[in-house]
Structure 1
């Protein structure tokens, strides 16, 4: 592991302490500590206030719940009294109409309240006229009074109270035969007509069932109710308990004729979250203050160190900017110069005061390139430069031009907002001069190369034009001899002349192709289907040569992108050589010369799919020594040959991004030349 501590610059050499700043920071820290102590005292006071507030809030909630329960139970009992009064009117009307009490039919149903319709609340109820003791409900009253003297006294008080005060009255809870207190009550609702008492409507009800029906379930889930009657306590969960502790609400039901009351205890104390939330916020604030003080202290120490390092870095960077040879400049978003370093000033010959604040056109722009540089300047301000930069020309104050390479990068602030652009300007005048010198030397080399090409062209023309011009000369001499001997008629002359014209046209095309190839003109490429193309190109050769041709072109179409003329030149050259060597090898023997033409595909593992035009013959083949120089110019294996045919073929195939190979034909045993060309997508016609 290498130690990188020695690679960093020791900024302590350029730093200096500031005692005044440290004293100011210590005073600030003292004020912050005092603020934290004040906040702590406030928290203690808030805790004391929170305890008092929670007690008062719990008491207020207890009283509110108890008062709500009182109102709710009283409301339902008052509604039951009204329901019974309505039944009393109904019973009195039927009594008046029928004249009998014992034979009264059941009362009609009415829209009663919750206690009237709740099962098991009303145990029995009915009408008792003032002058009849034979009514069923009168017998029920006498039966309960006979169970215990206390019951008799309570029922008598109920009847007297209802008749004397003209208001509903209650009796109970009653005792059973064993003297045990039950939850049964009697309710008497008197009825008066024209100021005279005519009877009462009485009902026996279960107090516990009435409380269960009147008090909502959600209230019962959060509270515990204990009934108090005659100093005996009964809980709503049927579990006896001693006298309620302090903190229970004593709810008076205020039922005339009874002393029934309820003790209400909250099972789930409602936590006052708001004060505790304030307390939690204050506590978090205190902890945050302590953390902030610690962080501030660390930040002050770190800031002092960073400030000293920053001052040292600024001094170091200022020295680096003064020593660097690359020009630096900064722009704002409106295109005004914000900064230039001394190297840039030396590059263009202007001072920083003359350049800062200027916008386009700038004084170092050449006058004849102002419009072009204006466009470049707008593009740089819009999108900057790519990795390779932009090459432009500046004009020195003394008037000479300078070739520069400009790179632009966004200039952003600490929040990442774009403020403008930062440019580096590199003087490449020497490099440009070296490139121009190299270009001149390259042009001289190309001139020498063209002289060599002229020799190749001359040799190629002699090689290619030998056959068509010889045939043309033979046809002309033969035609002239037959004309002089009178052995040809006018009707036989057009085919001969047409053949001569075709040979002349062929010679002209050869000259054009060789000339275009020598000048390296742009090839005219087009998609070619090789099967049909080879059959068309090699058909004349097959007709002229008395050789046996074998074709293995396959059934699948193979398309290439090639210049038809140049590819025809290469294919015919290779096939002509194959025919010539096949015929030369079979002279004086019964074996027929054979040429084999096939299409082969490249292996699938190659990255580029290729198709090969394979031309093999039954000749002697190519030795290993000849293979090394067979494609070299002016090298020929034939007597009298110029050695340019295969060299030109290789140049043509390589111009099509292909390659040419030579080997042994696996079928005929002679030479085999394969012209490899890249495959292209089929063309749909």
Structure 2
């Protein structure tokens, strides 16, 4: 029994302690507040209670009003959905009747008399149906029946053709889909509301024969399709896609003071699209104004008025209390201002008496050392912020300080923080004189100089690293002032190449053509004395040039720019990089490209060897036949001089033809240095067609060329451009041959015409074929080296062609030709710029192009 009583007493003690702890905390917090804050919190309590009461009343009103609005909106939405469903069923019934009529017309079971009778019956039976029009597949109106209420502007005249507009667009859409299409045209200003159109296609065995155009009155559809009970409760209107009223009378927007944020206007309006028309025809319902409900309750306004008056009285009392506290606040502000001034000083202040005892420290001194004012005031040497290893040195300095031997510039010491870390500080000492002029102690100011020392060390280390990096560069770096022979800076590689003199710097500048111009007339943006830009140095760009230095036997890439030296003088920095290996590699690459071009021409002629042999066989056979005929007639004695002259002329012509073919081949495959000169486009195309035509004739491919007249000359290597054209035409012939096109579709077309590319004038060469085209995955890698679509191809032809075109500053591209989704061929085109100085008027004065066909 005693044990249970003890346990109950312990539980009661614990519960009392748990209650007493928050009470004690509340009392301590309240006592820690200033009287001003206590008065302020005491005045806020009744004000907060009144505001909470008002908030509860407003929340209750808000909730009740929301419930009421939700109920009205749900009823409105349900009625509108019901009305829309009735209109939808009415439209679908008319659609089914029209589809049956269209089916009968498609099977030719309905003639004009039958069409007029059935149309008139439908229009008279259903008042919303205004007209039915029969349109053939050529957009011509064959027959039309309309209601008497249709205006003359909306009548369909027999024999007319549909005009462009939404009606024609819906006609074309119904023709493509072979499905009924609803269209609601937009309302035009100063015109009658348009009719709702239904386009029903007429087809027979999936073959389009025309359509039936039925037009509905939106107003009649609203009056006869909407239930009367819905029309009695709401203002129903029909809108088009742009929210223009087609039928019905909308309610004007209303705003009442009790409808917060216009909730009622939002809750009492609902729109829904009319199916199956879609969003182009909308049904909108607006509820008529009802009673105010809970808003008109007098109790609510009474409670709100009393709450407002109570809050106003409390605010007035609080303002009166504030006025009485201003004098006390002014006194506290003055005290805080003086203390803030003392604590805002970033320099640590320490006061010592004549015996060396600390009498005062400011907040900055405490923050630096980590010790509090209570810990430091009253200490005598050794102080707690002295490092253990510096006692002797600091004692000596303190004795000198107390004896009056002060240093004007201060002295540097190490100070220990409370956590044991050290920092560097500079200490300044001055005597402390009281109001009576008596020397009462010493005032010391301490500044933390750890960060400046660290920055100074980092700058020194950064300079050392900068020097090491410049000395280890593989480029020569030198800086010299303008107009002086002094060398401000030179790294290790510069000293190895040119020594420690300025001659190497000036040699690089002069040979690269970057010496400042002097003794020349000053331009508008140049200084007449220095020949330099008058803008800031940051606006000037660095320049670079590649030069050969005979003394070093090296190619150097020289970069130069102006900079402002540390002493303010204008200097020029020159960076020279050894690019001898790169230049050698570029020369070797140029030689390899030239060899690749020659090899490509030899490969092309090797592939065309059989065609060339066949082409040469014709003139040689003719020469043999003419010679045998002359010998036979000579033996028979029947050879006359005229016959001999005729045979010898023919023989000479065939021999010249064979010689021209061989000369073309020799000039094409002959290895020669790249030679760019002004080349005539027509002559270049003619020579390319001469060689390419041999291959095309062998493959039974017809070649057609279109060349614009008076083409401007091009600064190109004619042999290389002929190589590109021959390769493209040969590839086109191979593509046609591989696609097994019939004889009438084996065509290659070459077009040459002036063309602008990126605002530059030039000439475009286009080769089109009727082959099978290129797959998408091939187009991505078409111009890559060693990529080929032919089993025996080497993959260097098109890559070399693009390299040749780009070396002439041109562009090359390839694309497939389509007829719908079917690939009907491929087009290769490349563009070459005009030669500099060529008259551009030739681009605009061309006449009809020259057309040649090689069968």
Shorter-chain TM band: 0.3 to 0.5
TM-score by length of 2: 0.30
Q: Kindly indicate whether structure 1 or structure 2 has the higher relative contact order, using CA contacts under 8 Å at least 6 residues apart.
A: 1
